Chains A and B, each alone.
Chain A
Amino acid sequence: EDQVTQSPEALRLQEGESSSLNCSYTVSGLRGLFWYRQDPGKGPEFLFTLYSAGEEKEKERLKATLTKKESFLHITAPKPEDSATYLCAVQGSTSGTYKYIFGTGTRLKVLA
């Protein structure tokens, strides 16, 4: 069964304190691994898509990397406005053609 596990569940950082969020996955035939940001009461906001091991994507203070078993979302010198829940999702060829399987997310709080 395809699975996504995110850690830690919650993370508190001081402004400027860099860290990484982890997404471990088990999926047959990875079609894509997706990172989203979700603010309270809002819909997930697309950040990155990764397709194959070794791939990296960057956007402002965020950098996503992918291996065969996990993905990391690195946050460099975070600011309070980076506070949100970060969701990881995978799309595999056996769990369904188009559906995403989401992890439970990491709640990030950045303190000023």
Chain B
Amino acid sequence: EPEVTQTPSHQVTQMGQEVILRCVPISNHLYFYWYRQILGQKVEFLVSFYNNEISEKSEIFDDQFSVERPDGSNFTLKIRSTKLEDSAMYFCASSEQGQGAAQYFGPGTRLLVL
């Protein structure tokens, strides 16, 4: 069964450093998403991406964040200058359709900023 994959599974970085989180969405899906979950809190939307551009973003997704689909399979989230409060689990998701469609989540990348 096709699934969303994410690398790395864990990342530890120093405050102020740049990190890139990588995702391979399900191959025939057209819509891609990043969510984050701070330990013990709810899953929060960051950004959605369709047709090679951001379709919507939350207030969390400020200028420190960017997304890219560098090739036909990968989808990346870059945090330019990490802060302590960026420590969270980051989930990539993809869906075949947009509105009303089930989103399929990857296993997550646990990011720890020291």
Which A residues are within 8 Å of any B CB, using their own CB?
Answer: 31-32, 34, 36, 41-46, 49, 51, 87, 89, 91, 93, 96-105
Which B residues are within 8 Å of any A CB, using their own CB?
Answer: 4, 31, 33, 35, 41-45, 48, 50, 55-56, 58, 89, 91, 95, 98-108, 110
Q: How far, in angstroms, from A36 to B104 measured CA to CA in the complex?
A: 10
- Count CB-based A-B contacts (< 8 Å): 71
Interchain CB contact (< 8 A) of A43 among B55, B95, B98, B105 = B105
A residues less than 8 Å from B89 (CB atoms): 41
A residues less than 8 Å from B104 (CB atoms): 46
Interchain CB contact (< 8 A) of A31 among B41, B100, B108 = B100
- Chain B, interface SS category: strand
Asked whether, in the complex, the Cβ of A104 is within 8 Å of the Cβ of B42, the reply is yes
Known: A97-B48, A97-B55. A51 touches B100 (CB 8 A): yes
